[in-house]
Amino acid sequence: MLEILIWAAVIPSILLIYFVLKHDKVESEPVGLLVKLFILGALTTLPAGLLEMVGEQGIMAISRSGAMRTLLMFLVCVPLVEEGLKYLVLMTTWKNEAFNFTFDGVVYAVIVSLGFATLENMLYVLNYMSLQVAVMRGILSVPLHCTCGIFMGYFYGMARSHKARGESSRSVIDRVLALLIPLLIHGIYDFALSIESDAVSVAGLGFTVVVFILAVMQERWSSRQDSYIAGTGNPVGQPVPYHAAQPQYQQVPGQPPYQYPQQAPHRQAPAQPQQPVQPPYPYPQQTAYQQPPAPQQHPVPGQYRYPYPQQAGSGSESGPQKPRG
Residue 308 pLDDT level (bands cut at 50, 70, 90)? low
Cα 30 to chain center, whole Å? 25
Which residue stretches of the chain are H helix? 2-22, 31-43, 45-62, 66-72, 78-90, 102-128, 131-139, 141-164, 168-194, 198-224
Bridge partners of 101, per DSSP, are 228
- Would you tell me how many other CB atoms lie within 10 Å of the CB of residue 263? 6
- Would you tell me how many other CB atoms lie within 10 Å of the CB of residue 85? 21
Mean pLDDT on 250-267: 55
Higher pLDDT, 310 or 36: 36
Judge whether 125 and 137 are in contact, CB under 8 Å.
yes
- Would you tell me how many other CB atoms lie within 10 Å of the CB of residue 98? 23
The span from the CA of 240 to the CA of 147, in Å, is 29
Residue 87 pLDDT level (bands cut at 50, 70, 90)? very high
The CA-based angle 191-194-196, given to 5 degrees, is 125
pLDDT in tens, 35-66: 999 999 999 999 999 999 999 999 999 888 88
Q: What is the dihedral sign for C-alpha 250, 256, 257, 258?
A: negative
Of 138-147, 223-232, 264-273, the range with the lowest mean pLDDT is 264-273
Report the share of the chain in percent with pLDDT over 90. 48
Mean pLDDT on 237-257: 48
| DSSP secondary structure, 254-300, as one string | TS---SSPPPPPP-PPPPPPPPPPPP---PPPPPPP-PPPPPPPPPP
Which pLDDT score is estimated for 156?
Answer: 97
| Mean pLDDT score of the chain | 81
Amino acid 275 reads Q
Mean pLDDT on 281-301: 63
Mean pLDDT on 253-260: 55
Which pLDDT score is estimated for 28?
Answer: 85
| pLDDT exceeds cutoff 70 at 257 | no
The span from the CA of 110 to the CA of 120, in Å, is 15
| pLDDT exceeds cutoff 60 at 267 | no
Integer CA distances (angstroms), 30 to 94, 116, 178, 285, in order: 15, 20, 23, 89
Report the share of the chain in percent with pLDDT over 70. 71
Cα 151 to chain center, whole Å? 17
Mean pLDDT on 141-170: 94
Mean pLDDT on 238-258: 49
Which pLDDT score is estimated for 237?
Answer: 42
Which pLDDT score is estimated for 67?
Answer: 84
- Would you tell me how many other CB atoms lie within 10 Å of the CB of residue 13? 27
The span from the CA of 6 to the CA of 277, in Å, is 92
Mean pLDDT on 120-125: 91
| pLDDT exceeds cutoff 50 at 325 | no
| pLDDT exceeds cutoff 80 at 279 | no
